[in-house]
Amino acid sequence: MSSRDFMLKGINLRGLLIMDAGTGAANTTFWLAKKLKEADGGKIISIDSNPETFPEAKRKLGKLAELVEFIEADLTCMPQIESESIDLIVCHATICAVNNRPLRAIKALSEFYRTLKKGGWLIIDDEYPLPKALKPEEEVQVKRWQTYKSIAELVDGEHYTEIYPEELEFAAKLVGFKDIEVQKFEGESLSEEVMSEWKEEMQEMVNKIDDEDLKIAFWKLIKKIWKKYKEEGGIFPPYYVMRMRK
């Protein structure tokens, strides 16, 4: 079973109010909107703290945009969203972004719990933390992510922080969620598009570092990782899907 099939296994989407938690590149909003259309209706609210994601998301959705309302909000505090109003929340590749400071993921879980109807579903999927490569194909990913985190720490003092499923499950239970199911999936290939975006973002971030020697050292490292990717390719870490109910 694919991860997306596992996410929606046994859930009838017809007429549901769905929250896509973390619009980003809108891959999930697009997929959910197609599913909702096939199921004959319903509505999606797609939430991101960065409203700059919305115009591109609307463009990607085309006619399906009529099923979607975009809302600028912080997933850790959403006074705009009524309690017990949502049937299904999908949070794809975003819980690590929310968790850019310790315990923020718990705040988001508690907001998800508050806004879900009784019996409503929360589906979270995210990468496993990968502190070191367990196979050679993971080396590029480990290096590029360590580099991103080191630079982010220097310029912003915070960065995406992945969570082990056991710890996320513990936190979800504390908040009140039940019927928790977890499944692991293998990571896909790192595409040249992903790597190019990473390189561009790293260049912008390196320019914000004060120390000139550090800047040069990071430049060299980024070039070295890029070269390794071009020669050997790479894969994302494994990821997990966690399903639970209020």
Ligand X SMILES: C[S@@+](CC[C@H](N)C(=O)[O-])C[C@H]1O[C@@H](n2cnc3c(N)ncnc32)[C@H](O)[C@@H]1O
C-alpha–C-alpha distance, residues 16 and 88, integer Å: 7
- 115 touches ligand X by CB under 6 A: no
Q: Which of 61, 67, 92, 115 binds ligand X (CB under 6 A)?
A: 92
Give the shortest CB-212-to-ligand X separation in angstroms: 31
Q: Which is nearer to ligand X, 199 or 228 (CB)?
A: 199
> Is 47 within 8 Å of 73 (Cβ atoms)?
yes
- 22 touches ligand X by CB under 6 A: yes
Q: Which amino acid appears at position 25 of this protein? A: A
C-alpha–C-alpha distance, residues 221 and 68, integer Å: 41
Q: 193: Cβ–Cβ under 8 A, 6 or more apart, which residues?
A: none
Q: Which of 17, 25, 81, 209 binds ligand X (CB under 6 A)?
A: 25
- 28 touches ligand X by CB under 6 A: yes
Measure the CA angle with vertex 129, ends 230 and 54; round to 5°. 75
> Is 44 within 8 Å of 20 (Cβ atoms)?
yes
Where does this chain touch ligand X (CB under 6 A) — which range of 21-29, 121-129, 197-205, 230-238? 21-29
Q: Which of residues 32-51 bind ligand X (CB under 6 A)?
A: 47-50
Give the shortest CB-17-to-ligand X separation in angstroms: 18
Where does this chain touch ligand X (CB under 6 A) — which range of 24-32, 80-88, 146-154, 199-207? 24-32
In the bound state, the residue with its beta carbon closest to ligand X is 24
Q: Which is nearer to ligand X, 28 or 141 (CB)?
A: 28
Ranges of beta strands (E only) in 50-174 are 68-72, 86-92, 116-127
| Residue 196, token pair as written in the block | 């190019």
| Residue 80, token pair as written in the block | 């705009």
Binding stretches for ligand X (CB under 6 A)? 22-28, 47-50, 53, 74-76, 92-94, 97-98
